[in-house]
Chains A and B, each alone.
Chain A
Amino acid sequence: MSETRTLPTTRDEAWRYADGAALAAASPEALTGWHRLDVAPGETARHIGDADAGDIDRLRVHVGAGGRYEHFALLCEGHYTRREIEVTLDEGAHFEFGGVVLGDGEATREFVTRVVHAQPDATSNQLVRAVSRDRATANFLGRVEVARDAQKTDAGQNFRAILLNEGASANAKPELEIFADDVKCAHGAAIGAMDEAAAFYMAARGLPPEVARALLIRAFIADAFGAIDDEEARDAMIGRALAAFEAGHD
């Protein structure tokens, strides 16, 4: 008898905004496999940049008590690109996530996170910024689960997207599943056009539209990488994102 493995489709909640054709074409390993990372109690692990990964990359992280995992990533390539991160936090552990999605052409690019606060006093903070143009789609699906005895959980997630033209899109899907009663979970999502008032104010002071836009986009993107302690690494990430943004523009 052959092994039956159910492969995800866009009917699955966590894959609902994915590119259907890309899923059908992807290998079963890519769709169901996980990279794994263990952060020992009290230790810190940090990922800055983009993993040497395929279009679909799934990472499962366990953070021991008092440990810390930080992940900062930029999605700006590929027709369908998905970064899925599942993090389980033990007592007092912390997860920090900063993601930037730049969408152009017909691309679908998305971050999908699942943060499990398995024990008390763990904290998590997720900030995703997306800029979408042409007919691209940028998504953030963020699920937070708080276990029954995970009291004093503090979980935050925030998504903002700028759509540069009609036809570009972005989707936010925050999900909270909370079984403890003494928890703080904050989430926010906003999708909109470029700030027209700010753009005119800048123009009125003499900034050409492309310069004004670069300043606004830089500030917007920088939010997601603000938690990178190392200034050089932070500036490098912002610089890469901005360069990718400029390159994607005609």
Chain B
Amino acid sequence: MLEIANLHATVADKPILKGLSLTINAGEVHAIMGPNGAGKSTLGYTLGGRPGYEVTEGSATFEGQDLLELEPHERAAAGLFLGFQYPVEIPGVSFVQFLREAVNSQRKGRGEEPLSGGEFLRLAKDKAGLLKMDMDMLKRPVNVGFSGGEKKRAEMVQMGILDPRLAILDETDSGLDIDALRVVGEGINAIMRKPDKAVLLITHYQRLLDVVQPDFVHVLAGGRIVKSGGPELARQLEDEGYEAVVA
């Protein structure tokens, strides 16, 4: 589904990704762990096409297409979802308004009919329910005044509504209380644990991985994948720390 080969990327002329390779197949859940500043968020932004994140070498192929050729909104329409480590506040634009535009823009990009107001609201209500989020919160401006945990939960409601093929979730677990972590983890499973979908979880903690069990765990350090393994690697990292495991 996603094949990243020898990816190099710079941010503000500073090399951050330095030859990162990773292959994710449909039906798989991958977890990326790694020290602060390793380049995990940079990987997400680069794959999402954020302006300022410049690919200098390497490739990323998504469902047979050259991902790096596509505009950010085209990547979304192609089925890529990026869950933000720090979701952005947009004053004056309600979630409902924003997400309806988003769903219908994506549908249009894929040549599908737009959802009517009623259809969209039913879908939004269903996904908010899955994440145990009050529908009234979606009437508020995007992320404005939301707590850290509420923002992360709202990210997953958005993912449910947009129904992507591949989700890159950047520390979706940080900021969540214990119960919310379970709800969000089970939400991720319900939305994404399907044979034709895949997930890349960026996380610092084992706790999320207890709920959303990864098939593969990778360590990203210094802009590259330096170690890969199964679920046991995450536990080993938790016990021993990066330095011991990577050295």
A residues at B contact (CB < 8 Å):
195-198, 200-209, 211-212, 215-216, 218-220, 222-223
A212 to B72, CA, bound (A): 12
A205 to B89, CA, bound (A): 14
Q: Is the pair A211, B101 in contact by a Cβ cutoff of 8 Å? A: yes
Q: Is the pair A215, B93 in contact by a Cβ cutoff of 8 Å? A: yes
Q: How many whole Å from A226's CB to the nearest CB in chain B?
A: 9
Q: How many whole Å from A180's CB to the nearest CB in chain B?
A: 34
Chain B positions within 8 Å of A200 at CB level = 48, 50-51, 72, 88
Q: Is the pair B98, A205 in contact by a Cβ cutoff of 8 Å? A: yes
Q: Is the pair A219, B51 in contact by a Cβ cutoff of 8 Å? A: no
Give 21 CB contacts A-B under 8 Å: A198-B90, A200-B50, A200-B51, A200-B88, A201-B90, A202-B90, A202-B98, A203-B49, A204-B48, A204-B50, A204-B75, A204-B84, A205-B98, A206-B73, A206-B162, A207-B101, A209-B73, A212-B73, A215-B93, A215-B97, A222-B92
Q: How many whole Å from A123's CB to the nearest CB in chain B?
A: 24
Q: How many whole Å from B200's CB to the nearest CB in chain A?
A: 14
Given contacts A202-B102, A203-B49, 7 further A-B contacts (CB under 8 A): A200-B88, A203-B73, A203-B76, A206-B76, A206-B105, A206-B109, A219-B93
Q: Which 8 A-B pairs have the closest CB atoms?
A: A219-B92, A206-B76, A203-B72, A206-B106, A201-B88, A205-B102, A203-B73, A206-B102
Q: Is the pair A205, B162 in contact by a Cβ cutoff of 8 Å? A: yes
Chain A positions within 8 Å of B59 at CB level = none
Is B77 on the interface with A (CB-CB < 8 A)? yes
Q: Is the pair A208, B90 in contact by a Cβ cutoff of 8 Å? A: no
Chain A positions within 8 Å of B67 at CB level = none
Q: How many whole Å from B128's CB to the nearest CB in chain A?
A: 16
A218 to B92, CA, bound (A): 8
Q: How many whole Å from A69's CB to the nearest CB in chain B?
A: 26
Given A201-B84, A205-B76, also A211-B92 (CB < 8 A): no
A212 to B99, CA, bound (A): 11
Classify chain B: how many residues form its interface, as a range. Answer: 20 to 34
Is B91 on the interface with A (CB-CB < 8 A)? yes
Majority SS at the chain A contact face: helix
A63 to B98, CA, bound (A): 41
Chain B positions within 8 Å of A195 at CB level = 90
Q: How many whole Å from A222's CB to the nearest CB in chain B?
A: 6
Chain B positions within 8 Å of A197 at CB level = 88
Q: Is the pair B98, A215 in contact by a Cβ cutoff of 8 Å? A: yes
Which residues of B in the span 211-236 have a Cβ within 8 Å of any Cβ on A? none
- Which of chain B's residues has its CB closest to A215's CB? B93
Chain B positions within 8 Å of A218 at CB level = 92-93
- Which of chain A's residues has its CB closest to B104's CB? A206
Q: How many whole Å from A90's CB to the nearest CB in chain B?
A: 35
- Which of chain A's residues has its CB closest to B158's CB? A205
A22 to B47, CA, bound (A): 51
Is B114 on the interface with A (CB-CB < 8 A)? no
Is B31 on the interface with A (CB-CB < 8 A)? no
Choose among B77, B91, B105 the residue that contacts A211 (Cβ–Cβ < 8 A). Answer: B105
A205 to B79, CA, bound (A): 10
Is B19 on the interface with A (CB-CB < 8 A)? no
A197 to B87, CA, bound (A): 9
A229 to B122, CA, bound (A): 31
Is B66 on the interface with A (CB-CB < 8 A)? no
Choose among A198, A204, A212, A223 the residue that contacts B82 (Cβ–Cβ < 8 A). Answer: A204
Chain A positions within 8 Å of B84 at CB level = 201, 204
A222 to B92, CA, bound (A): 8
A219 to B144, CA, bound (A): 13
- Which of chain A's residues has its CB closest to B45's CB? A200
Choose among B50, B51, B102, B141 the residue that contacts A207 (Cβ–Cβ < 8 A). Answer: B102
- Which of chain B's residues has its CB closest to A222's CB? B92
Q: Is the pair A204, B87 in contact by a Cβ cutoff of 8 Å? A: no
A198 to B72, CA, bound (A): 13
Chain A positions within 8 Å of B88 at CB level = 197-198, 200-201
